[in-house]
Amino acid sequence: MALAQDLITPAAPASGIVPEKVRDGIDLEINGEHYRHTGDPQMPLLWFLRDVLRLTGTKYAGETGADLVLLNDKAVSAITLPMAKLADKSVTTVEGLAANDGGLHPVQQAFIDEDAIGCGYCTPGWLIAAVDLLKRKPHPGDDDLDQLPNLCRCGCQTRVRRAIKRAAAGKADQV
């Protein structure tokens, strides 16, 4: 009889063990595709992008802005953003800027045209920041460019600024 009672009412877990409820998952969209994250809700988005999805364009380098992604069209740091805050949100990484047919985004083309890429480590962050800026300010001035949270350790800032202005002027397809 005592054995049957044990089956109905399981013993409490040993002290110090806290049972965790099964996670339902966090649904979000990345570059137009639907994903469900069922791991740790505190995992930074950058880890999910790089280690789970193998989207390695976004980098671990906050001081250069290379960790920027678009969250609902606004540039944010993927390092500081936990997956828990991304339910039903839409994220665009540098891999998602080009058109479905492979055509480059005008800002990407402008970076090529202005030779604004050195080693390339910071470039994804600049592209994301520029897309965000041009949405908010189609014709940014030098003050607006000064506010961007990006840094190029290869010293490409001058060419980057020219590229963003070129994209703003709609001259990305001109040589």
Please report how close the Cβ of residue 113 comes to ligand FES at its closest, in angstroms.
16
What would the two tokens of residue 17 be? 């063990």
Q: Is 121 near ligand FES (CB under 6 A)? A: yes
State in angstroms the smallest separation of the CB of 126 from ligand FES: 8
Total count of residues recorded for the chain:
175
Q: How far apart are CA 150 and CA 66, in angstroms?
A: 7
C-alpha span between 127 and 122 (Å, rounded): 9
| Secondary element (H or E) of residue 92 | strand 90-92
Residues 146-175 that bind ligand FES (CB under 6 A): 152-154, 156
Span near ligand FES by CB under 6 A; candidates 2-10, 37-45, 48-56, 120-128: 120-128
Q: How far is the CB of 69 from ligand FES (least distance, A)?
A: 18
**How far is it between the farthest Cα atoms of the chain?**
87
Q: Could you list the residues that contact ligand FES (CB under 6 A)?
A: 117-123, 152-154, 156
